């Protein structure tokens, strides 16, 4: 039983009230306006719950799928220390997935169903993890720039109205800041290395830049959920503002290493103080998030294999007698 006596039932098409009780809705929105946090047992509108499940679940999937591109580099990372750091980072990402699935479960959707929806393609996960990590420099770019983007987004979301998500994000952000240091160190090492190392890094930056610009979500003009989510303080800033914060903080760090970015229009407008750039290719973005990116199939195939090969562990944990049939003494 979850908040407001709600039980998540995806087969029940009538579970969304046609209209929320106006008094309860006004009370709920006043709480949000007051900066109060919403706990799982509190009353909440159906749409608030639905949106949170969608967002937190996608975030959880992004963490466990996001572990895959870097995971393939653990055995190939240059040197023992980098291998150890990468193992720890990948392990953290899986842990973030666990925290986020637990936060989404408080809203009533069972974890098994979330994982089924990931595998069937019903639930999305972050666009960036559908691209290959071809060289060690890709790992440096992911660790530096994708973790940087994730921190900007998650720090904002951590101040949001749903308490369990905020609590999970505070812990996740603390760990992500170590990931960022690890990525930045690897990035600087390559940028200040031999001409071959610099060329490898430049190539990785060129390939990752478009997906990184997509990472913060479609431009505010076409984002569908932002307005409602900001009203309910689920999202604390718009996609374009978060993209701008990222450019503000990280483009100077890239340029000072003499690494270029593949956008001739990228510049900070001195009058507005905002960054200008070539409009990202949103057709490519929507193609990738709907399952047609370069690695979508490979990523989901790995997850499918994990689900299959780990089934006996789940059975041993939750239904041990069905496996072992150990007679009771
Ligand atoms: N990728 O109306 P909006 C990480 C979808 S964690 C895929 O603007 P919204 C850690 C969106 O779902 C990274 N899909 O959506 C790590 C919607 O589709 P739907 C994940 C995207 O929710 C680092 C449609 O486009 N972080 O990286 C993306 O208001 C390194 C319309 O978009 C989170 O999930 C995207 N990038 O704003 C791990 C944070 N953007 O559902 C390993 C929580 C949008 O209607 C290594 N999420 N879409 O079918 C959020 O803050 C928000 O959901 C946004 C999108 C800002 C991502």
This model's pTM is above 0.85:
yes
- E strand map for the chain: 267-268, 275-276
- Cβ of 239 less than 6 Å from ligand 1: yes
Query: Residue 274 Cα, ligand 1 centroid: separation in angstroms?
Result: 22
The token pair that represents 34 in the structure block: 């007051």
Q: Where are the domains of the chain?
A: 22-294, 295-329
Residue 14: is its pLDDT beyond 60?
no
Please name the residue whose Cα sits nearest to atom 18 of ligand 1: 124
- Cβ of 207 less than 6 Å from ligand 1: no
Please name the residue whose Cα sits nearest to atom 3 of ligand 1: 223
The separation between CA 20 and the C-alpha centre of its own chain, rounded to angstroms, equals: 30
Residue 320 pLDDT:
72
Residue 317 pLDDT:
86
Residue 201: is its pLDDT beyond 90?
yes
Residue 16: is its pLDDT beyond 50?
yes
Q: Specify whether domain 22-294 bears CATH 1.20.1260.10.
A: yes
- Cβ of 217 less than 6 Å from ligand 1: yes
Residue 318 pLDDT:
81
- Cβ of 287 less than 6 Å from ligand 1: no
- Cβ of 285 less than 6 Å from ligand 1: no
With the most atoms of ligand 1 within 8 angstroms of its CB, the residue from 92, 126, 156, 242 to mutate is 126
- Taking residues 77-103, report their average pLDDT: 97
Cα gap 100→210, rounded to integer Å:
27
Model pLDDT for residues 148-198, shown as the tens digit of each residue? 999 999 999 999 999 999 999 999 999 999 999 999 999 999 999 999 999
- Cβ of 59 less than 6 Å from ligand 1: yes
Question: For the chain, what is the mean pLDDT?
Answer: 93
- Cβ of 238 less than 6 Å from ligand 1: no
Contact 103, 261 (CB under 8 A): no
Query: Residue 177 Cα, ligand 1 centroid: separation in angstroms?
Result: 20
Instruction: Identify the sign of the CA torsion 14, 18, 23, 24.
Output: positive
With the most atoms of ligand 1 within 8 angstroms of its CB, the residue from 129, 151, 169, 217 to mutate is 217
Please name the residue whose Cα sits nearest to atom 53 of ligand 1: 55
What Rg, from alpha-carbon coordinates, does the chain have?
21
């Amino acid at each position: 039983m979850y908040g407001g006596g709600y039980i998540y039932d995806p087969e029940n098409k009538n579970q969304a009230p046609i209209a929320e009780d106006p008094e309860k809705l006004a009370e709920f929105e006043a709480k949000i306006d007051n900066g109060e946090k919403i706990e799982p047992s509190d009353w909440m509108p159906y749409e608030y719950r639905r949106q949170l499940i969608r967002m937190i679940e996608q975030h959880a999937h992004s963490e466990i799928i996001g572990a895959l591109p870097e995971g393939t580099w653990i055995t190939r990372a240059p040197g023992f220390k980098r291998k150890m750091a990468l193992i720890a980072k990948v392990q953290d990402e899986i842990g973030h997935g666990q925290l986020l699935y637990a936060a989404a479960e408080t809203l009533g959707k069972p974890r098994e169903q979330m994982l089924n929806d990931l595998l069937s393609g019903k639930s999305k996960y972050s666009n960036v993890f559908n691209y290959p990590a071809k060289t060690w420099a890709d790992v440096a770019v992911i660790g530096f720039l994708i973790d940087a983007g994730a921190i900007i987004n998650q720090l904002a979301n951590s101040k949001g109205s749903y308490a369990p998500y905020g609590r999970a994000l505070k812990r996740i952000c603390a760990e992500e800041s170590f990931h960022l240091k690890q990525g930045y160190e690897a990035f600087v090492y390559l940028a200040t290395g031999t001409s071959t190392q610099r060329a490898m890094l430049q190539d990785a930056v060129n390939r990752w830049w478009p997906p990184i610009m997509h990472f913060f979500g479609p431009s505010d003009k076409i984002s569908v959920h932002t307005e409602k989510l900001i009203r309910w303080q689920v999202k604390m800033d718009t996609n374009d503002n978060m993209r701008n914060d990222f450019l503000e903080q990280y483009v100077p760090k890239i340029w000072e290493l003499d690494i270029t970015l593949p956008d001739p229009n990228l510049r900070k407008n001195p009058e507005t103080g905002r960054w200008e750039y070539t409009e990202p290719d949103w057709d490519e973005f929507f193609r990738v998030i709907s399952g047609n990116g370069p690695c979508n199939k490979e990523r989901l195939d790995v997850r499918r294999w994990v689900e299959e090969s780990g089934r006996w562990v789940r059975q041993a944990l939750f239904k041990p007698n069905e496996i072992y049939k150990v007679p009771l003494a």
